[in-house]
Chains A and B, each alone.
Chain A
Amino acid sequence: MADGARSAVNERDELRQTVRATLSRISQTGELPTLPSVATAALGIVRSPDAEVEELCHVIRMDVGLTARVLRVANSPGYGRRHPAKSMQDAVVTLGLRQTCDILVAVCARQLFAPGPYTELLWNHSLATAVAAEEIARATRLVKPGLAFLPGLFHDVGRIAFQLADVPSFTTLQELVDAGEGTSQTFEREWYAFDHAQAGCILTEDWGLVPEQCEAIRWHHDPAQAPAGHVLATVVNAADAIAYAIGCGPSAKRPEDVSTAALGLSPEAEGALVERIREAFETQKQLIG
């Protein structure tokens, strides 16, 4: 292994160890936030090159609430079925394996965002960024649309981990950011020794996202630094900016390091894209919650 690659591996191992040890140490339960097992099972199935519809259906059927939710999405007007899907197999064929998995993970991820004023804002922001990332991927063809939804959804999940672990410290950090005293990444690094993007990368790695998606989460505030998944990080960064543009920012002020500039769209094209994202977000919000 080349020296550069070895040093990147060492750096990642060190980060993984620090994130896990710190979050476990400060959390009340001593455990890291996890996705429900049905979501990780679905991610595992979709990652496999031999993934089969029936296999995913079997996982979804184990949860009655999820079954109903997936059928509801597949039968929504956006998917243009003439006759409603009655079986899970129909629904999965309509949506496709990847999209079914994205919906399922989003429904499961909703549970991580426990009710609270800030978490509600953060959930809307995460869902809006996921929808925006997928739409940007479709419009620009920079990356496969199927790759973009989950890093958009989880780009700020590190913040949720910080909040779940220690609400008072998280609130103090947020108050300083809102007061314009500095950026959240700076304060997070000073306090936790890593920021929410780094924490999100390590958590989603554990949950079964592919490396390119994890890298995009890690570098969504600084896509130029991403050694791999550079383009996906750019897409998530732009999606983050658009989520603010449609009124789904978790704070009043948009961070200075998120922007749509790297997409190279004309103002008209960008305006049309933002409108499509606004509509798509409203639809997903109604379906997923």
Chain B
Amino acid sequence: MDAADAPAALPGDALREGVVERLRADLGAGLIDSHLVPQTDLWVRVSTEAWADAAASLKAQGFDYFCFLSALDWMPSPYGKGEDDPTVEKEPLSTEVVPGVTGGDTRFQVFARVTDVRRHFGVTVKADVPDTLEMPSWIPSFAGANWHERETHEMFGITFAGHPDLRNLYLPGEFEGYPLRKDFPLLSRMIKPWPGIVDVEPMPDAAEEEDGTAEATPEEGGAA
């Protein structure tokens, strides 16, 4: 890769569709779904067993720049945002797992992004995480996945088979729990409601309001 190569023109659809075709040729049934936004971006979902092979295939196609690797927890948080009026009773929130782009069958998904620095576009790859929470590691293809997999492990609890040293990266050793899971509560918000909720008591002239006098209504905090 020498600096004398002129940068390629910005890619169109043909390039991204070509990537999908080549992945289908390499992985066969391992490629489950793809989502292409023309001129913008490409998402691809592969099966769990094909996760490491997808990395190798993409690297062979020229995507040798490793951007990042992380995980997604598709279950909505049962705690909400902690910004609701504490004097008003709220209904329990739905914890139904609804996956995003390119679908998914499990609560957790790992996703990663690699970029081709010569053709100037990248691909986001996703895969379902089975209930055993074990995934193959991307280190054989991209050495930089080391730290990313360690972070994903400590934040979600997903283990990566083949990782030489899966210990905590950010959190102190005695930390319990996996913070980025949606069922990990932020205790400060549970103990004390968000201080930005301005008006939790009714306005003193609530009686006049019913008569039709124009009164300013209390606003929920959160807008800019």
Q: Do A and B bind? A: no
